[in-house]
Structure 1
Amino acid sequence: MHLLAHRGCTWQQPENTLAAFASALALGFTGIETDVRWSLDGEAILYHDRLSPRGQAVAALTRKELSHQAGFIVPSLSEALDAFPDAFWNIELKTPAGLPSILSTLSKVQDKTPILASSFYHPLIQEAANTLSTYLGLLFASRPLSLNTLLEISNASPKIKTLIWNFEILDPSFIDEARRLGFAHFVYGAANEIEHEWCRKLAIDGIITDYPEWVGLGSAPCWQ
C-alpha cells in the first residue's frame, strides 16, 4: 500500500510546504499528496484553498503576494519535484488554469519521479492522458451510479486506471467490480484507527492520510 501524507506533515509545518513534505518523508511516508493552482504571475504553485487568508482569489495573486498573506513561502510545483525526486507524488489539479504548463512540468520528470496526477475535474485528467505516460486518477466525492461510468472512462481514456475515493463513500462490492476492470484504488479522508484498518482489509492500493500513527509511522498526527 502506498502511504501518502495529505499535504505533507503539518503538525509542525504549514501544509503544502517543502518543510511539511520533508517532515512527512522523514517519518517514513512513501509519498505526498499536494494541490496545484496557477498564480497571477504564471506559476504552478502548491496551495489548496481557492481563496487566500484575506479572502482574495488565489488566481488573482502573484506567488509573492500569496506567500505574504499566508505567512510562509508558497512553493512552486517544480521546486517540490526537484527537492524530492524519489517521492511518490499525488498531484491534484485544482483548475484548468495553466494546465499546458503544468503538464509540461510533469512530463519532464515523469520518467524519474513516480507521479499520480488526479482531479475532481475529470476533463483535466482526460487532457493529461494526451500528454503524460504516468499514473492518472479520478477523484470521487460521490459514488458513480453504475460501473457503466467506469467503462465509459476506460474506453475513452485507457490510461486512466486509478480511482481516488472519499472514505465516506467506500463501497466494497463496487471496488471489487472496478478492480476486475483494471482500476487501482486510493482513499482519502479516513479519520480514525478503525477506518484506516478497514482500508487495509479492503486491500486498497494507497491511502492519503493525516495520521502517521494509524499507518504505523509515528505517534503524532500530521494535522495542525
Structure 2
Amino acid sequence: MNDIINFAHRGAAGHYPENTMLSFAKALELGATGIETDVQMTRDGKLVLIHDETLQRTAGTPEWVKDLTLAEIKEREAGSWFHEDFAGERIPTLEELLDLVRSTDTIVNLELKTGVVLYPGIEQKVLDTVRRYDLSERIIISSFNHYSLVECKRLAPDIRTGILYMEGLYEPWDYAKRVGAEALHAYQYALTPELVALAKANGVVYHPFTVNDPKLMQALITAGVAGIITDYPDRLAGLLAKQGV
C-alpha cells in the first residue's frame, strides 16, 4: 500500500482528454490511487467536471458552463480536441465519477472552480452529493478561492480541505489552520523539503501540483510529501513501486 497518494490530474490528462470518464478510468488502470478534478455548475444547478469556465478549449464552443443546462452540456463533444481517436467523449457529472470510484479505495480531490464564477450554493451541493455516496472519508475539497474552503468547513467539518496556491506562502501551515484546511495544494515550485517537514510537524500535509518530471517527483517523494498531483500517474506509480513506498 503506497503511503503517497498518486493523484491523477484531471484523470490521466497526459494520455487522454482531461476530465472525461475515459481519462478517470484509465488513470486507475495506470496506478493512480487518487483522482483530481474540477467542479462547476450548470444553469440548472447540476455539477459537472470541467476545468475552464467556458467550453472553448475542450469542446470548441465559446459557451460558458454557467449558461448551459446539463442536457446542453451533454450534447457537446469533449474528446477530439485532444486526438481524433477520442471523438465522442462527453463532459461528465460529479455523480458519474463517484459511481466509478465508489467500489474502490480511490481518494477524490474535488477542486471547486469558484474563482471566476461564484456559483451560488456549489459548496453545499458538492457536500450533499458526496454524502449521498457515503464517500466523505475519501474526499478532499480544494480551491483557489479560500472562502469556498472556509464555507465547506463550516458546512462539513469532517471533510478534508486543501488550499490551492501558486506562490511562496509564509508559514502556510499557520494559514491552513486559520482556514481549517488539512492539506496544502501548492504549485510544485512553492515548497522546499524544509517547508514540508515544518508543515508535517504542524499537522499539515503537502499535495503539490502539477508534477510531471520524474526527477522532481523523486525529489518530492524524498522530501516527504503526502501526495503528488500529476498528468502521468503511470510515471509516479513506477517510481513508487521501485522504492516500495
SS at match of 1:168: coil
TM-score by length of 2: 0.79
TM-score by length of 1: 0.86
How has the CA–CA distance of structure 1 residues 193 and 155 changed in structure 2, closer, same or farther, with 3 Å as cutoff?
closer
Query: Which residue is equivalent to 1:197?
Result: 218
How has the CA–CA distance of structure 1 residues 111 and 64 changed in structure 2, closer, same or farther, with 3 Å as cutoff?
closer
Query: Which residue is equivalent to 1:154?
Result: 177
Task: Tell me the percent identity.
Answer: 29
> Which has more strand, going by share of residues?
1
Q: Distance in 2 between matches of 1:23 and 1:16?
A: 11
Which structure 1 residue ranges, 5 or more long, are not aligned?
A: 219-224
Q: Distance in 1 between matches of 2:135 and 2:74?
A: 31
Per-residue CA shift, 1:161-189, capped at 9, x if unaligned?
A: 11111112223222222222110110112
Q: 2:21 aligned with 1:18, yes or no? A: yes
Q: Distance in 2 between matches of 1:30 and 1:176?
A: 23
* Alignment RMSD (CA, Å): 2.1
Query: Which residue is equivalent to 1:5?
Result: 8
Query: Which residue is equivalent to 2:108?
Result: 89
How has the CA–CA distance of structure 1 residues 213 and 107 changed in structure 2, closer, same or farther, with 3 Å as cutoff?
closer
Q: Distance in 2 between matches of 1:9 and 1:156?
A: 30
Equivalent pairs counted in the alignment come to 214
**Superposition map of 1:49-64 within 5 A:** 49-53=52-56, 54-64=61-71
Per-residue CA shift, 1:57-86, capped at 9, x if unaligned?
A: 221112332333334321111121022112
Q: Distance in 1 between matches of 2:95 and 2:196?
A: 34
Per-residue CA shift, 1:188-210, capped at 9, x if unaligned?
A: 12231211111111111000111
Residue type of the alignment partner of 2:111: E
Q: Distance in 2 between matches of 1:153 and 1:47?
A: 26
Which structure 2 residue ranges, 5 or more long, are not aligned?
A: 79-88, 240-245
How has the CA–CA distance of structure 1 residues 126 and 12 changed in structure 2, closer, same or farther, with 3 Å as cutoff?
same
Q: Distance in 2 between matches of 1:156 and 1:192?
A: 31
Select the residue among 108, 126, 129 that pairs with 1:105. Answer: 129
Is this contact kept in 1: 2:149–2:179, CA < 8 A? no
Shift of 1:110: 4.7
Query: Which residue is equivalent to 1:221?
Result: none
**Superposition map of 1:119-158 within 5 A:** 119-132=143-156, 133-144=158-169, 146-147=170-171, 150-155=173-178, 157=180
Is this contact kept in 2: 1:52–1:70, CA < 8 A? no
Per-residue CA shift, 1:3-45, capped at 9, x if unaligned?
A: 0111112455421122211111112211110100001121010
Is this contact kept in 1: 2:9–2:210, CA < 8 A? no
Q: Distance in 1 between matches of 2:148 and 2:17?
A: 27
Point out the more displaced range, 95-104 or 24-33.
95-104
